[in-house]
Amino acid sequence: MLKKPRNGNSAQHKYPHVGRTVSLASLSAHLGLSKASISRVLNGAPAARSIPQVTQDRILAAAQALNYRPNLLARSLRRGQSMTVGVLVPELSEGYATLVLAGLEETLSAAGYAMMLVTHHHQEAKLTDLHRIVMERAVDGIVAVDTSLPVIHSTPTVTISCPDPHDGVTNILLDHDRAAELALSHLYALGHRQIAIIKGQPFSSDTDIRWRSIQIAATRLGLSLHPKLVVQMKENLATDEPGFLAAQRLLATGIAFTAIFAFNDVSAIGAIRALQAARRQVPEHVSVVGFDDVTLAAYHRPALTTVRQPLRHMGALAAQSLLHSFTSGGNHEASHSVVVEPLFVLRNSTAQSPALSLQC
């Protein structure tokens, strides 16, 4: 950011043209017109209609020639909107957040908005801190991804996969009931009856709702989930280690199971690693279903059978919703939910239950 030298500053004539910000005032002096007229013309304000074309051309030419750039800080301050939205994200890891961001970015930048990005690593302290930072920067809106917000300010907000929806903020979320049903009924159809579940970490926003959906789907299928075959990941790591450890705990129970439904693709990969280390082949001995369908899933061997979450689309929807609330003047409708549908992706990490062939 360039700063025009203070008046008393002698640097002014030492470097006559360096650091010279060209502002409306410069243009005004140069053209002999008022800042007001120039601003109006440059912004195509309605009041500029009464300014003759020749003058308008003169202004535009001068702006071009002097390479005038409006200072968006000043504009934002005056207009009361900054054309910027703050994006809160747990971390910049592979897959999840990245895809959502891509969807957000596309839609927002097409509408002329810029993104201010902050991460909080699921740490409560950082979260309130960063939320404050975003607020102070006077963003026009906030998108919180996979984050449970401590408190909602009056800034328009939309959340993605938020576990505890707040009043007046629209929440984009997956149809978890359908997702669980897709995964479990697939395993059921393959003859699996002893299915283990790897739950997400306590801090992950999808954990609870996904687990509820799994229970519902299991009940509908007449499938009983052995309590000891339901383990939860604890570690706050962006690697496959939590899944690896969870699967090890499953194996340590000594209870037989022929399939695992993992919380996400990365933990599914960790689980497969643990199974292979214990000499159980996937999918021959144990089937594994992942979640999300991040890029990794397709390239892993065995390629992961998984439930795709349309992350990019969810980002785009969030952006649209936010943009809509800008134009519609922030009508505080009650908490609104947008539900998106999952897609089942069949690959090679699932197969017929070995228990089934034994029965034959």
List residues binding DNA (CB under 7 A). 4, 6-8, 21, 23-25, 32-37, 39-40, 42-43, 45, 47, 49-52, 55, 68-71, 74-75, 77-80
DSSP conformational letter for 304: P
Nearer to DNA, 22 or 221 (CB): 22
Are 245 and 235 contacting, i.e. CB atoms less than 8 angstroms apart? yes
Shortest CB 283 distance to its own copies, Å: 14
What residues have CB less than 8 Å from 284, skipping those under 6 apart? 351, 354
Length of the chain: 360
Torsion sign over Cα 280, 286, 287, 289: negative
- Per CB under 8 A, which of residues 248..277 are in contact with its own copies? 269
When CB distances are held under 5 to 8 angstroms depending on the partner's kind, the choice from DNA, its own copies, none that residue 36 binds is: DNA
Nearer to its own copies, 88 or 260 (CB): 88
When CB distances are held under 5 to 8 angstroms depending on the partner's kind, the choice from its own copies, DNA, none that residue 24 binds is: DNA
Alpha-carbon gap, residue 325 to 322, rounded angstroms: 5
Burial of 194 (0-12, 13-18, 19+ CB in 10 A): middle
Shortest CB 223 distance to its own copies, Å: 30
From residue 177, alpha-carbon distances to 77, 101, 170, 212 in Å are 45, 25, 19, 8
By the rule CB under 8 A, 324 interacts with its own copies: no
Alpha-carbon gap, residue 192 to 31, rounded angstroms: 80
Name the β-bridge partners of 195. 259
Mask: binding to its own copies, 70-109, rule CB under 8 A, as x and -?
xxxxx-xx--xxx-x------xxxxx--x--xx--x---x
Shortest CB 219 distance to its own copies, Å: 34
Nearer to DNA, 51 or 340 (CB): 51
When CB distances are held under 5 to 8 angstroms depending on the partner's kind, the choice from its own copies, DNA, none that residue 37 binds is: DNA
- Per CB under 8 A, which of residues 105..144 are in contact with its own copies? 105, 109, 114-119, 130, 132-140
Burial of 360 (0-12, 13-18, 19+ CB in 10 A): exposed
Alpha-carbon gap, residue 353 to 283, rounded angstroms: 9
- Per CB under 8 A, which of residues 293..322 are in contact with its own copies? 294-296, 299-301
Q: What residues make contact with its own copies under the rule CB under 8 A? A: 1-3, 18-19, 69-74, 76-77, 80-82, 84, 91-95, 98, 101-102, 105, 109, 114-119, 130, 132-140, 154-155, 240, 269, 294-296, 299-301
